[in-house]
């Protein structure tokens, strides 16, 4: 709390200094960021901050950026409002939990433009953006099935929510494309961030025979634990290779930079619209870290799958998709599941033995 | 290592930080001081231990740093609640918030750094015992320390004159004072001991469990330690039982999920709490009327010249 107040106080001080100085040329566009974690988390927030740094580098003195880190959901509205009040033109709020606060502040500041990550509520001055993480997870599943010797692969989930379920389904479908009999073991830690419990979860999965571990939680703890036993794993959000140099196969790396540059440019050009962006590999919003610690042919096939998804030739959720009980899932897209079906996914595909709570 | 042995091994690891923190808090509470700042002291212990171990490349220096940080935090708390007779609940909550925030600031430059593995201490012959051998006798140094700590504290509280004094200070500080016991001095030492233990528990998390530092990595374990003391009815032996039940249930629920019994994961995540409460309630019910309740002066400030 102290730190944030410091940052906020610093922000105000800087703004007052700028306000007092005689305006030269056009005023810079002020861009604000609200982060859910510390910028040094080597995961979710770290990647968003990379985008902020790129804005500063690209636009130079035509922009000014501010960020406030480790903002809890309860504090979000006050923090967002403070940014809006202090003359920011464009404000990125980068956590699902900021959805309602963003909408409420946006109603009070119709001239300020807002961008909310991973949410679904939009307004005349609120855009949303998200990434198709499940595209990367399909590739991970394929690699996992090729690398597994036991035929048992493990998955550490945060919470049984649609985003995690969609990623898990894509992972299994990718694995089944190589080995239809692959067995997936799932453990939820019921937290986004609890390194010690993520460690326990990785151990439990390995003790039950899983020899490749994927994760949908935010710390690198599981990858490090897997590395201790020489078990393969996949990183999340940023490249976690430093935590498991000899066993990490690849990571799904979130790339918000291009999107942020486009949106700031749109504000500079006066062409900003409250759009909804949901990009994957093709839009370069997710990238695959180098394919390491695997035979060349496995890496080649992974790269080929990546290219097929990027070109639109392959969709992880191509119909027919069968739910866990064997029933066919209605196909509401064009030969694939629709975006709404993926965003609200509340079923497991065939081959996952675990059950979703009702 | 069979699956069973692997589970036992993990259970011991999961229980150890809870046990160390709980035993320290137990001593402080037996002296009559309720310190709700365990979570904050653990966080400070975790970050300081990591910084120490990283800068000097030594697990031992890390442990020293962690304990020192926990002890200093506890001393700060003691100055407030003993020196100024501040409200213990308020001061404890403040200590937790301070510890979590301050540890984030101290640790910021060290996020993403890693430590080498802590060497295990295999006890010859014993570690070759079937079933329990590898789980109990090929662990890291913290595990042995935690077990020695329980035995030592139990002996100290129940078997020594100094322990009797500490307990009488906690039971009735007015009587203890009139008997000439240095109430505030005893409490200060008990609180600092609690801080050293919380720091050690934090050090275990960042040095052994994850081997990296991340903000908020204690994730509520300090609060579980506080709760264990209450459910263990302020007895070291039961704190050991409680910590191991909690650790066992934590690990088993993950295995139950992985084995796909089809139970909802939210329910399984609650099992450790349920199991610990039920087990300790049964334990304390069997104790009947002869057992101990909370120390009589727990949570009450003592002002000597009143």
Which residues from B are below 8 Å from A205, CB to CB?
258
Q: Tell me the C-alpha to C-alpha distance, in Å, between residue B70 and each of A208, A300, B15, B94, B240.
A: 37, 51, 19, 15, 21
Mean pLDDT, chain A, whole residue set:
89
- The domains of chain B, with CATH numbers, are 3-118+134-290 (1.10.3470)
Confidence of residue B123 (pLDDT cuts 50, 70, 90): low
Q: What does the pLDDT look like over A281-307, one tens digit per residue?
A: 999 999 999 999 999 999 999 999 999
Q: Does A24 have pLDDT greater than 60?
A: no
Return the pLDDT at B54.
92
Query: B156 burial class (0-12, 13-18, 19+ CB within 10 angstroms)?
Result: middle
pLDDT at res. B135: 66
Q: In this complex, do A205 and B112 lie within 8 Å of one another by their Cβ atoms?
A: no
Determine the pLDDT at residue B288: 55
The residue among A183, A193, A196, A239 with the most chain B CBs within 10 A of its CB, best to mutate, is A196
CB–CB contacts below 8 A, A to B: 119
Domains and CATH numbers, chain A: 2-131 (3.40.50.2300), 133-253+288-343 (3.40.50.2300)
Q: What is the pLDDT of residue B230?
A: 87
Q: What share of chain B in percent tops pLDDT 90?
A: 56
Give the total residue count for chain A: 358
Which pLDDT score, from 0 to 100, does residue B70 have? 97
pLDDT at B91: 96
Cis peptide before A320 (omega within 30 of 0): yes
The C-alpha atoms of residue A170 and residue A253 are separated, in whole angstroms, by: 17
pLDDT band with cut points at 50, 70 and 90 for residue B243 = very high
Quick one: average pLDDT of A12-33?
61
pLDDT band at B274 (very low <50, low <70, confident <90, very high): confident
- Is the per-residue pLDDT at A65 higher than 90? yes
Contact A204 B221 (CB under 8 A): no
> What pLDDT is recorded for position B290?
47
Residues B5-37 as b/e (b if ≥16 CB within 10 A, e otherwise) read bbbbbbbbbbbbbbbbbbbbbbbbbbbbbbbbb
- Output B224 or B268, whichever has higher pLDDT: B224
Whether the CB of B96 is below 8 Å from some CB of chain A: the reply is no
Higher pLDDT pick, B97 / A7: B97
Q: Which of B216, B221, B258 lies nearest to residue A208, judging by beta carbons?
A: B258
pLDDT digits (tens, 9 = 90+) for B73-114: 999 999 999 999 999 999 999 999 999 999 989 998 888 788
Q: How confident is the model at residue A1 (pLDDT cuts 50, 70, 90)?
A: very low
For the cut 90, the answer to whether the pLDDT of residue A23 exceeds it is no
Tell me which of A2 and A285 has the higher pLDDT. Answer: A285
pTM summary value: 0.82
Task: Say what the pLDDT of residue B220 is.
Answer: 87
Cβ–Cβ of B254/A40 closer than 8 Å?
no
Q: ipTM of the assembly? A: 0.83
Question: What is the H or E stretch that residue A153 is in?
Answer: strand A152-157
Chain segment B31-77, per-residue pLDDT in tens: 999 999 999 999 999 999 999 999 998 888 999 999 999 999 999 99
Mutation test of the interface with chain A: which of B46, B111, B117, B214, choosing the one with the most A Cβ atoms within 10 A? Answer: B214
Residue A10 confidence (pLDDT) above 70: no
Strand order in the sheet with A90-93: A63-68, A29-34, A90-93, A113-117, A126-131, A276-279
What is the pLDDT confidence band of residue B292, given thresholds at 50, 70 and 90? low
Supply the mean pLDDT for chain B: 88
Neighbours of B269 (CB within 10 A): 18
Cα–Cα distance, B137 to B124 (Å, whole number): 8
- Count of CB atoms situated within 10 Å of the CB of B106: 17
Q: Which residues of A touch B219 (CB under 8 A)?
A: 191, 193-197
Contact between B269 and A190 using a beta-carbon 8 Å cutoff? yes
Asked if the model's pLDDT at residue A346 lies above 70, the reply is yes
């Amino acid at each position: 709390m102290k730190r944030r107040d410091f940052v906020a106080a610093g922000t105000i001080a800087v703004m007052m200094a700028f306000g007092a100085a005689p305006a030269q040329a056009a005023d810079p566009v002020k861009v604000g960021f609200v982060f859910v974690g510390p910028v040094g988390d080597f995961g979710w927030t770290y990647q968003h901050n990379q985008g902020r740094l790129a804005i500063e580098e690209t636009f130079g003195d035509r922009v000014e950026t501010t960020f406030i880190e480790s903002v809890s959901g309860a504090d979000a509205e006050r923090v967002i409002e403070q940014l809006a009040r202090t003359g920011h033109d464009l404000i990125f709020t980068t956590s699902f939990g900021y959805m309602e606060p963003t909408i409420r502040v946006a109603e009070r500041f119709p001239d300020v433009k807002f961008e909310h990550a991973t949410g679904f509520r939009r307004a005349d001055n609120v855009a949303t953006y998200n990434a198709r993480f499940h595209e990367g997870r399909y590739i991970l599943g394929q690699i996992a099935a090729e690398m597994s010797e036991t035929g048992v692969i493990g998955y550490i989930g945060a919470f049984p929510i649609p985003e995690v379920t969609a990623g898990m389904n894509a992972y299994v479908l990718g694995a089944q494309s190589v080995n239809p009999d692959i067995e997936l073991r799932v453990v939820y830690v019921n937290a986004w961030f609890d390194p010690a419990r993520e460690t326990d979860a990785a151990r439990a999965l390995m003790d039950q025979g899983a020899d490749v571990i994927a994760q949908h939680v935010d710390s690198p703890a599981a990858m490090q634990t897997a590395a201790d036993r020489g078990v393969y794993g996949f990183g999340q959000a940023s490249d976690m290779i430093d935590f498991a140099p000899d066993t990490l196969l690849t990571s799904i790396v979130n790339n918000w930079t291009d999107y942020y540059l486009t949106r700031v440019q749109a504000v500079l050009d006066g062409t900003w619209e409250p759009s909804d962006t949901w990009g994957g590999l093709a839009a370069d919003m997710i990238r695959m870290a180098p394919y390491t610690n695997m035979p060349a042919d496995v890496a080649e096939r992974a790269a080929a799958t990546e290219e097929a998804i990027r070109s639109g030739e392959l969709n992880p959720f191509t119909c027919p998709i069968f739910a866990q009980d064997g029933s066919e899932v209605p196909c509401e897209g064009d030969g694939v599941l629709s975006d709404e079906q993926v965003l609200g996914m509340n079923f497991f595909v065939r081959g996952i033995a675990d059950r979703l709570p009702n | 290592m069979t699956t069973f042995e692997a589970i036992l091994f993990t259970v011991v690891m999961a229980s150890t930080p809870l046990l160390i923190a709980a035993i320290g808090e137990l001593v402080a509470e037996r002296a009559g001081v309720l310190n709700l700042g365990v979570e904050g002291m653990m966080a400070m212990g975790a970050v300081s231990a990591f910084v120490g171990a990283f800068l000097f490349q030594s697990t031992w220096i890390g442990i020293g740093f962690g304990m020192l940080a926990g002890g200093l935090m506890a001393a700060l708390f003691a100055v407030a609640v003993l020196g100024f007779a501040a409200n213990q609940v308020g001061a404890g909550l403040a200590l937790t918030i301070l510890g979590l925030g301050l540890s984030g600031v101290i640790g910021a430059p060290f996020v993403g750094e890693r430590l080498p593995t802590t060497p295990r201490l295999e006890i010859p012959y014993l570690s070759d015992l079937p079933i329990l051998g590898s789980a109990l006798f090929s662990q890291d140094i913290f595990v042995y320390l935690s077990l020695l700590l329980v035995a030592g504290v139990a002996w100290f509280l129940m078997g020594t004159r100094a322990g009797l004094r500490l307990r009488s200070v906690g039971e009735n500080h007015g009587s203890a004072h009139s008997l000439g016991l240095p109430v505030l001095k005893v409490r200060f030492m008990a609180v600092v001991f609690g801080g050293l233990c919380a720091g050690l528990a934090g050090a275990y998390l960042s040095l052994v469990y994850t081997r990296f530092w991340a903000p908020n990595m204690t994730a509520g374990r300090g609060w579980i330690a506080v709760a264990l003391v209450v459910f263990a009815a302020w007895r070291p032996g039961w704190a050991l039982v409680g910590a191991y039940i909690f650790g066992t249930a934590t690990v088993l629920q993950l295995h139950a999920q992985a084995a796909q019994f089809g139970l909802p994961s939210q329910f399984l995540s609650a099992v450790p709490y349920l199991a610990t409460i039920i087990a300790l309630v049964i334990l304390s019910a069997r104790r009947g009327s002869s057992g101990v309740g909370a120390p009589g002066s727990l949570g009450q400030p003592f002002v000597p010249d009143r």
